[in-house]
Amino acid sequence: MYNGKKVIAVLPAYNAALTLEKTYNEIPLDLVDEVILCDDASNDDTLEVARSIGIRHLIRHEKNKGYGGNQKSLYNKALELKGDIVIMLHPDYQYTPKLIPAMVNIIGDDLYPVVLGSRILGKGALKGGMPLYKYIANRFLTFTQNLLINYKLSEYHTGYRAFGREVLESINYNSNSDDFVFDNEMLSQIIYAGFDIGEVTCPTKYFEEASSINLTRSTKYGLGVLRVSLGHFFQRLGIAKLRMYQKPD
C-alpha cells in the first residue's frame, strides 16, 4: 500500500505468454497489493503462464472482446477489490514496470489523480523503435486533440496509465468502445469530468514480441480518435449530449 491506499496493477493480456513473466518479475510487489490479469481469449498459453507465476486474480474471456472490452473487465474487478490506485500495464513488456513507483507516488500524494507514461516527452520515441508513420500520426492527432479538447498533453495514445479510484468511479467507461479507441474515449471523459492529468517520461520499446496494430487498424483508430475529439468539442460547447459523458449509474 502507499499512504494507506491499496495499489492494484491490471494487465490486459492477449497472446502474451512470451513476455508476461518478464513483465511480472519487474512489478514492484512490495508496493503493488494485487495484480489482475484478463486473458482476452488468447491462442497461446497466457493463462497457464499467469497461473504458474502466481497471479491470483485471473479473468478469462471465452470470446475475444477487444482491447477496450478487456480493460472494462479489469477496471470493474479492480473497483470490486477496493483498489485506490489502479495502474494499467501491458504484459507485452513494451512499457517498463519500473515506472510504477513514480506513478503511484504522484497519485498517492494527491499531486494528480491520473498519470500517463508518455513516450513523446524527451526524444526517445524514434530511438526506441517507434515506426515513423506512427510517430507522425501520434504528433498530428495529439496536436488536433489538444485544440479540440482544450487541454495540453504530450500524447493521448500511450497504453501506460494510472488512475485514482475516484476517477474510475466518476466516468462512464463501460459505455465506451471495446476496440482500441477505448483509451482515447477514456481520456476524453476524464478531461471533460475536470480531472487533471500528469505525465512522466516513459522509454519506448518496440520489438518482435511486443503487440502492435497494423496500418489498417491504425487508420481505423486514427479516424476514431478524430471522432472522439470532435464529439468532445461539441459536447463542451453544449451542442451535443453524448451518453459517454454521462455519469455512470
CATH value at residue 22: 3.90.550.10
Q: What is the pLDDT of residue 18?
A: 95
Confidence (pLDDT) at 130:
83
Domain count, the chain: 1
Walk along the chain (249 residues) in steps of 10 and give the mean pLDDT of each run: 96 96 97 98 97 97 97 98 98 95 98 96 79 89 96 96 98 97 98 98 73 76 95 96 92
Return the residue matching grid coordinates 512489478. Answer: 27
Q: Is residue 1 in a domain?
A: no
DSSP summary character for residue 130: -
Write the DSSP string, 68-111: HHHHHHHHHHHHHTT-SEEEE--TTSSS-GGGHHHHHHHHHTTS
Confidence (pLDDT) at 132: 86
Residue 130 · residue 215 · CB < 8 Å: no
Q: For residues 193 and 166, is the Cβ–Cβ distance under 8 A?
A: no
The answer to whether the CB of 229 falls within 8 A of the CB of 188 is yes
Write down the pLDDT at residue 212.
60
Instruction: Note down the domain range covering 234.
Output: 7-245
Compute the residue count for the chain: 249
Nearest residue to 16 via CA among 125, 87, 73, 95: 95
In this prediction the pTM is 0.93
Please indicate, yes or no, if residue 2 is contained in any of the structural domains.
no
- Residue 46 has what pLDDT? 97
